[in-house]
Amino acid sequence: MFYREAGQFRTSYAQDAQILPLRQDRWGMAALLLAAFVIVPYVANDYWLSAILIPWLILSLVALGQNILMGYAGQLSLGSAGFMAAGAFACYNLILRVDGIPFIVAVLLSGVCAALIGIVFGLPSLRIRGLYLAVATLASQFFIVWALDKFGWFKNYDPSGVITAQQIVIFGHPFTSPQEKYWVVLVIVAVLALAAKNMARGSTGRAWMAVRDMDVAAEVMGLSLLRTKLLAFAISSFYCGVGGALFAFAYLQTVEPSAFNIDLSFRILFMIIIGGIGTIVGSFLGAGFILLMPVFLNVLFHGVFGQAVDATIISAFEQVIFGAMIIMFLIFEPLGLARLWQLTKERLRLWPFGN
């Protein structure tokens, strides 16, 4: 009875087109944002911020990028980690070589770099689809990581093969503590997530879905398949690139190209599948799930078996469970956690009445 839309009228198309048309949803979102921006930084301890919340936000951003490509544009991609790497190293090099470049500008430019590379590797999508495209994206994954590794220039010829991300400095103020880094990441992710939502609901998203569902009809309507698909690749890679830059600067600090391997690409794929393909909310839910599952398993195993369990066995079980969950989600709830969340909200609308 609290979550109802009775009495809330929308009297203009603009109102109907809002992201959160229900007043209760707006309150909920306001509360969430309040918690995220104000409460969490003061309440959460450093471990939670650095090891859980920051990577969660960053990986959600990357998952969002992948979701745009896979969910809205229907193009399969297994190369997200490669674009993250591109973004990370682009940001490092920009800050290194361009004196006084503002951090935010560097991050955005790294996204653009990744986007340009994404367009190049997205060109095959004009002629191929599905699995074939997935293999083409594997090409991008392997090639980018190899190139970053082999050409020492990217790493500033550091003999150790590892780069150390510089300090984050915005308007002269260094952001070094976990809280400060959390804020930077939170703001960037929130803005980009909003932008993604706007695109998905607007003419851009409709164009992507049209090309995904029935490209002949889309062409007949005047959509350029080339531009629509490449735009999807560009934007998706942009998000992955920004995510990669944040990954290096706000999370890992010391980075080598092989950290962005195919394994990471698969994990991001799993985030989308479990979270819900083609949804913004799903990216966040899926990322949280994949990130927390190992922690949860660790606790479970050590609780049940004590210290006797080998780390490799745990990671093997983790793999089995991930794989099994993927399959189960695909069978039972292909729309992922996001759909479960939606169903919950619909139940709430009728509560306390049953059906």
Partner 1 sequence: MIAPVQTPRRAFAIGAPILQLDSISLRFGGVQALTNVSFNVLEHEVRAIIGPNGAGKSSMLNVINGVYVPQEGAISFGGEQLKGMTPTRAAHLGIARTFQNIALFRGMSVLDNIMAGRTLRSRASFLEVALQLPRARREETENREAAEEIIEFLEIEHIRKTPVARLPYGLQKRVELGRALAAEPKVLLLDEPMAGMNIEEKQDMCRFILDVNDHYGTTVVLIEHDMGVVMDLSDRVVVLDYGKKIGDGTPDEVRSNQRVIDAYLGVAH
Partner 2 sequence: MLDLLFFIEVLVGGLLAGIMYSLVALGFVLIYKASGVFNFAQGAMVFFAVLSFVGFMELGLPFWAALPVTVGLMVLVGMATERFVLRPLVNQNENTLLMATIGLAFVIEGTAQAAWGVEVRRLDLGVRDEPIGWLMDEVGILISQLDIAAGVVAGIMVAALALLFSRTKVGRGLRAVADDHAAALSIGIPLKHIWMLVWATAGIVALVAGMLWGARSGVQFALIGVALKALPVLIIGGFTSVPGVIVAGLIVGAIEKTTEVYIGPYFGGGIEGWSPYMLAVLFLMYRAEGLFGEKIIRRV
Residue numbers of the site for partner 1 (CB under 8 A)? 13-14, 16-17, 195-196, 198-199, 202-204, 206-207, 209-210, 212-214, 216-224, 231, 235, 278
Q: Round to whole Å and give the CA distance between 146 and 124.
A: 20
Q: How many residues are recorded in the chain?
A: 355
169 interacts with, out of partner 1, partner 2, none, CB within 5 to 8 A per kind: none
Q: Which is nearer to partner 2, 122 or 243 (CB)?
A: 122
Q: Is position 219 an interface residue for partner 2 (rule: CB under 8 A)? A: no
Residues in contact with partner 2, counted by CB under 8 A, come to a total of: 43
Spatial CA neighbour of 249 closest among 176, 322, 157, 153: 176
In whole angstroms, what is the distance from residue 86 CA to residue 76 CA?
19
Residue 269 binding partner per list partner 2, partner 1, none, with a CB distance cut-off of 5 to 8 Å that depends on partner kind: partner 2
**Among 136, 207, 290, 338, contact with partner 2 (rule: CB under 8 A):** 136
Q: Select the binding partner of residue 330 from partner 1, partner 2, none (C-beta < 5 to 8 A, by kind).
A: partner 2
* Four-CA torsion 151, 157, 161, 162, nearest 10 degrees: -120
* Cβ atoms within 10 Å, residue 218: 20
Site for partner 2 (CB under 8 A): which residue of 51, 326, 340, 348?
326
Name the CA dihedral angle for 147, 148, 151, 155, rounded to a multiple of 10 degrees.
Answer: 180
Q: In this chain, which of 3, 37, 266, 341 binds partner 2, going by CB under 8 A?
A: 266
Is 14 a binder of partner 2 (CB under 8 A)? no
Stretch near partner 2 under the rule CB under 8 A, chosen from 58-66, 89-97, 245-253, 321-329: 321-329
Q: Which is nearer to partner 2, 22 or 134 (CB)?
A: 134
- In this chain, which of 25, 180, 256, 318 binds partner 2, going by CB under 8 A? 318
Does position 271 bind partner 2 by CB under 8 A? no
Are 119 and 234 spatial neighbours (Cβ–Cβ below 8 Å)? yes
Q: Of these, 9, 127, 173, 203, which contacts partner 2 (CB under 8 A)? A: 127
Cβ proximity of 126 and 133 under 8 Å:
no
User: CA-CA distance, 234 to 119, in Å (whole number)?
Assistant: 5
Determine the Cα–Cα distance for residues 10 and 272; give it in Å rounded to an integer: 33
- Minimum Å gap between C-beta 289 and partner 2 is 14
Task: Give the CA-trace dihedral at 43, 46, 51, 52, to 10 degrees.
Answer: 0
Q: Find the shortest distance in angstroms from Cβ 35 to partner 2.
A: 33
- Report which secondary-structure segment, H or E, holds 77: none
